[in-house]
Structure 1
Amino acid sequence: QLLLCLIETEAELTPPDDLFMLTLNTNYTLAWDWDQSAAGSDSATFTVQYAGLKKRNPKWTTVCAETSGRSCDLTRSGLNYLGLYVVRVQTNLNGRHSVWKSLQFSPDKDAVLGPPSEVRLGVSGRTLDIFITDPQNSSNSSMKEHLNKLSYDIVYWEQPEDGKSLMPETTSTVANVVTLSSIKPWTQYCMQIRSRDDFYNKTSTFTAPLCAQTEGVVPWWKIFMYFLLSLVSCFLMVLLFLYGGHHCFQICKATFLPNEKLPSYIKQVLPSFPTGDYPRLIVSDYESDLCDPVIVCSEHKTLGLHCRTIQSSFDLLNLFMF
């Protein structure tokens, strides 16, 4: 009777329910729900174990023992991607244990396949190169180590300037580098890529859209226009440089070497002086140094010419002095 009582008491503890696996490539997490009202104010814990499915005497391996959470990470537990397993979880409360609640799990069949880890676009003329990086497993290695027939679906479409997308086109490939050649030049294309495994017909979600614009052959008239614009620009720059240099030269010359011109009536008299004996200003404290003696001549015809010469010299001297 005591044994029957203990069995009934243990069975009264509510086991976990709604077991499900959260997976991505080789990342596995078991999650479950549990009614906390059955424990009252006490805190329940959970134990998670797994074992091979087809073994007669399975050896259960404990992954999470006495955990208070509602999930358990089995990623590092050593599950073979092609294996078949039974995963079970049990409730623990104040020394009591519920019955085990189990779930069958096959990573190859049940694990979600992830999209490509990276996608890059490269433009080469009017062709578009697509570089695809394989999905990564929990060891940061390619998922092709587990899926030999891993392929990719590429959906691409033309993106016009008015924003209205045209009918997309689809192509499939197993290569990591794909070149789209049957596309239009000078046109923007957008694309999304997803992973595919045909053995269990598994597909991943699509990557975020990536866009790139193709190139093409430049028309001859554009080349001529570019050359003409470059030639005109160079000519204007040289012309501006020459004009600026000439203007600066004129300013410097006027500042440091002023070009003062003598009056015309002085230039007419300069040839009559001997070489190097040009009139110049004389600075002296004595009045006798600045004046020549004046000779008064009679009005005789023979001395008229001599007197006029003296008078002209005296007038010229007064001109330079004043």
Structure 2
Amino acid sequence: MSPTDSSMWSCVCALVLAFPAHSTAVSGVLSSPANVQLTSTNMNLVLRWDPPAGAPRDLLYTTELKSSVLEFKPGCVNTSALECDLTSLVVSIYGKYTGRVKAQRGAQSSEWVISEDFVLDKQTSIGPPNVSLHSNRANLEVSIKDPVFMKSTMRQIFTSATYNITYWKKEQKKEIKHINGLQQNRVVLHSLDPWTEYCVQVQIVASTAQKPSMPSRVVCASTTGEKEPPWVGAVVAFFVLAGVVTLVVLVVCYWKSFSHFLCPKYAIPDHFKKSLLAPPKSHMYLAMQTSQPVEEFSDQIIVVMCSRSEEDGGPQQTAG
């Protein structure tokens, strides 16, 4: 075979090998999504993924979820988002779940891409607690509220959860102090410097969770003095004294009215006194006062009872 014939056969073979690849690109399968994974915060369940490399903008996605006891059930259908909330398909907070997603464009679709298994109560992330501060002189009272869970409550799932409190002076963040392993949600920070602003941050730690919660937002509040400021006592004393002076002035000005009200000088008329003190003049009353006891009389009564004899059936008399 001549060199010219060899070159011709090489070109023909290259065209034959290239034709199937070209036809597959035209009518073939779409590329699949990448980095498919289940995530959870506060017991929700969300499937997330990345679009295929070089994918067009008009791709749509369909997701499904499978539990350890049920087969795949549809989640989001024909969505353009890169995530799907599957919390409504959760049948048990202690179950194991697997998600999958595929890309679609018209009549074309990619292969399903399956995520790794996800144990909800073990792998869920705990959100940040809600923290508030209340200043009480030279102390700060820290109030903590647990995050709201989509399924059940935090205390039912993480019964042994504790709080780690971090606090520092606002202008001196390098001098950080820690209080760890607290179970109560109200804590008083003692021995703080008066008239100083402190900042507090709280994190939840649960032994059965894979990692601590997200830290709370930083909350700051200022302490006051160990005692009330001097002007507070002066203001209170002024108001008390003003009230006493006002009361004395009112009593002096309206003393006659008060005395007449408390000790009225009205007298009972003489004819009322005579009528009330005079003895009763009723005839019946006078007769009862002068009459003698009435003598009572009684008569003897004999009762005769009749009954029939048992032998002759005649009457039988009995006296009593």
- Match of residue 286 from structure 1: none
Q: 1:64 Cα shift?
A: 1.4
- Match of residue 143 from structure 1: 154
- Match of residue 42 from structure 2: 25
Counterpart residue type for residue 123 of structure 2: D
Query: Which residue of 114, 118, 122 corresponds with 1:105?
Result: 118
**2:67 pairs with 1:49:** no
Q: 1:137 Cα shift?
A: 1.4
- Match of residue 212 from structure 2: 203
Q: 1:22 Cα shift?
A: 4.4
SS at match of 1:64: coil
Deviation string 1:237-293 (CA, Å, 9 cap, x unpaired) is xxxxxxxxxxxxxxxxxxxxxxxxxxxxxxxxxxxxxxxxxxxxxxxxxxxxxxxxx
Q: 1:79 Cα shift?
A: 4.8
- Match of residue 13 from structure 1: 30
Q: Contact 1:11 / 1:99 at 8 angstroms: preserved in 2?
A: no
Counterpart residue type for residue 160 of structure 2: K
Q: In structure 2, how many angstroms separate the alpha carbons of the residues matched to 1:107 and 1:67? A: 24
Q: In structure 1, how many angstroms separate the alpha carbons of the residues matched to 2:78 and 2:219? A: 46
- Match of residue 105 from structure 2: 93
Q: Contact 2:124 / 2:209 at 8 angstroms: preserved in 1?
A: no
Map 1:293-312 onto structure 2 (within 5 A). Answer: none
Q: 1:59 Cα shift?
A: 1.5
Query: Which residue of 164, 168, 171 corresponds with 1:153?
Result: 164
Q: 1:169 Cα shift?
A: 0.8
Query: CA distance change for structure 1 residues 149 and 225 in 2, over 3 Å: closer, same or farther?
Result: closer
Query: CA distance change for structure 1 residues 202 and 169 in 2, over 3 Å: closer, same or farther?
Result: same
Q: TM-score, normalised by structure 2?
A: 0.57
Q: CA RMSD in A?
A: 3.4
Count of residues in correspondence between the two structures: 215
Map 1:141-290 onto structure 2 (within 5 A). Answer: 142-159=153-170, 163-172=171-180, 173-218=182-227, 223=230, 227=234
Q: In structure 1, how many angstroms separate the alpha carbons of the residues matched to 2:81 and 2:226? A: 63
Q: In structure 2, how many angstroms separate the alpha carbons of the residues matched to 1:195 and 1:224? A: 42
Write out the 4+ residue segments of structure 1 that deviate beyond 6 Å after TM superposition. 8-11
Deviation string 1:174-217 (CA, Å, 9 cap, x unpaired) is 22111222434443321111222222341123222222223344
Q: 1:84 Cα shift?
A: 0.9
Query: CA distance change for structure 1 residues 148 and 226 in 2, over 3 Å: closer, same or farther?
Result: closer
Consecutive unaligned residues in structure 2, runs of 5 or more: 1-23, 243-320
**2:123 pairs with 1:115:** no
Q: In structure 1, how many angstroms separate the alpha carbons of the residues matched to 2:232 and 2:120? A: 63
Q: In structure 2, how many angstroms separate the alpha carbons of the residues matched to 1:121 and 1:194? A: 15
Query: CA distance change for structure 1 residues 227 and 99 in 2, over 3 Å: closer, same or farther?
Result: closer
Counterpart residue type for residue 184 of structure 2: A
Q: In structure 1, how many angstroms separate the alpha carbons of the residues matched to 2:35 and 2:232? A: 71
Q: In structure 2, how many angstroms separate the alpha carbons of the residues matched to 1:178 and 1:45? A: 51
Q: TM-score, normalised by structure 1?
A: 0.57
Q: 1:86 Cα shift?
A: 1.0
SS at match of 1:167: strand
Q: Contact 1:11 / 1:98 at 8 angstroms: preserved in 2?
A: no
Q: In structure 1, how many angstroms separate the alpha carbons of the residues matched to 2:221 and 2:208? A: 33
Query: CA distance change for structure 1 residues 181 and 95 in 2, over 3 Å: closer, same or farther?
Result: same
SS at match of 1:24: coil
- Match of residue 310 from structure 1: none
Counterpart residue type for residue 76 of structure 1: S
Q: Contact 1:29 / 1:72 at 8 angstroms: preserved in 2?
A: yes
Larger gyration radius, structure 1 or structure 2: 1
Query: CA distance change for structure 1 residues 217 and 17 in 2, over 3 Å: closer, same or farther?
Result: closer
Percent of pairs with identical residues = 26
- Match of residue 69 from structure 1: 81
Q: Contact 2:65 / 2:86 at 8 angstroms: preserved in 1?
A: no
Q: In structure 2, how many angstroms separate the alpha carbons of the residues matched to 1:225 and 1:183? A: 22
